Amino acid sequence: MDEVTSTAHRAAAVPPPVRRIVLDDQPTVVTPGANGNGNGNGTRTPAVRFAASDTAARERMRVEELTIAYAGRVAVRDVTLPVRQGEVLSLIGPSGCGKTTLLRSLNRLTELTPTATRGGRIALDGQDVDELDVTLLRRRVAMVFQQPNPFPMSIFDNVAYGLREQGTKRPGKRDLAPRVEEALRRAGLWDEVADDLGRPALRLSGGQQQRLCIARALAVEPEVLLLDEPCSALDPRSTQTIEDLIVRLRAEVAVVIVTHNLQQAFRVADHVAFMYLGELVEYGPAADVFGNPRARRTREYVSGSFG
């Protein structure tokens, strides 16, 4: 498919629906103004997809026939997926479908659960992750969690934490300053905190704390960035900032995001994997999964029939 056709196909894709609720009384309708979420005539402006990445996609990880169980109960069954740099891969599906388990398996966090067992293969740049030192793996495949979790230390020390742990000789603040600045710039936070890097990180807003956690992950220069519902605890403005950041980062690292927000998945993802009851139901370009899904279960989910 050429670039013009691909762009037209994405533009024609239908975004996921806005979920409806039933009210006892008719609500008061306020017509959006020029700055509202609408076009001025009372109709809602649909979600807009980010432009496709110009960076050629490069496979960084591959999941092959992955099966994960907890105490014998299967949570993920026989999943095969690529993870590519230059793209954002979004894992979607109802609660309990296995998407977070799949995400956590990419850097072997599922091993922290004593009853967990895993079958199949996960490779990073062609090498089985089981052959890698787990600390090195989690540096190369970094994780940002649902709730912002800055350490109870300064902004500077939060970003520098992983850098200090890398070598046998702990570098000084002057040596670390350029890399801390670079990570904060990549996370879109530098301009907001540059004059007060000694401030306690816990005094930042929720959105700033989440970007700080992303900067902390980026500081050690990972090849893959895993995001587990990174915007679920944030306000709309902070969510937009994080989404913009995710799309910018895909040129530098492979990004995998778990989200319950279908509109968000539509906006940021290049490819989408829809999971249901532990199985991969459908995988494909976001425009196809949302605009023309192949599987009936996918059509039902993205149309809001369940979930």
| Residue 56, domain member (yes or no) | no
Both tokens of 78, joined, read 């026989």
Could you read off the pLDDT of 114-165 as tens digits, one per residue? Answer: 999 999 999 999 999 999 999 999 999 999 999 999 999 999 999 999 888 7
- The answer to whether residue 53 scores a pLDDT higher than 70 is no
Residue 117 sits in a domain whose CATH number is: 3.40.50.300
Domain with 217, as residue range(s), is 3-20+61-302
Q: What pLDDT is attached to residue 41?
A: 38
| Residue 35, domain member (yes or no) | no
The amino acid at residue 93 is G
Q: What pLDDT is attached to residue 111?
A: 93
| Residue 241, domain member (yes or no) | yes
- The answer to whether residue 290 scores a pLDDT higher than 80 is yes
Q: What pLDDT is attached to residue 15?
A: 61
| Residue 42, domain member (yes or no) | no
| Residue 216, domain member (yes or no) | yes
Could you read off the pLDDT of 160-203 as tens digits, one per residue? Answer: 998 887 765 677 888 999 999 999 999 999 999 999 999 999 99
| Residue 37, domain member (yes or no) | no
- The answer to whether residue 5 scores a pLDDT higher than 80 is no
Q: What pLDDT is attached to residue 38?
A: 40
- The answer to whether residue 304 scores a pLDDT higher than 70 is yes
| Residue 68, domain member (yes or no) | yes
Both tokens of 144, joined, read 């940002």
- The answer to whether residue 47 scores a pLDDT higher than 80 is no
pLDDT band at 57; cut points 50, 70, 90: confident
CA atoms within 13 A on the CB side of 270: 25
- Domain tally for the chain? 1
Q: DSSP readout, 206-243?
A: HHHHHHHHHHHHHHT--SEEEEESTTTTS-HHHHHHHH
Could you read off the pLDDT of 203-246 as tens digits, one per residue? Answer: 999 999 999 999 999 999 999 999 999 999 899 999 999 999 99
| Residue 29, domain member (yes or no) | no
Q: What pLDDT is attached to residue 172?
A: 83
Could you read off the pLDDT of 74-115 as tens digits, one per residue? Answer: 999 999 999 999 999 999 999 999 999 999 999 999 999 999
- The answer to whether residue 7 scores a pLDDT higher than 90 is no
Residue whose C-alpha is closest to residue 89's, from 272, 275, 285, 284: 272
Q: What pLDDT is attached to residue 46?
A: 45
CB neighbours of 240 closer than 8 A, spacing ≥ 6? none
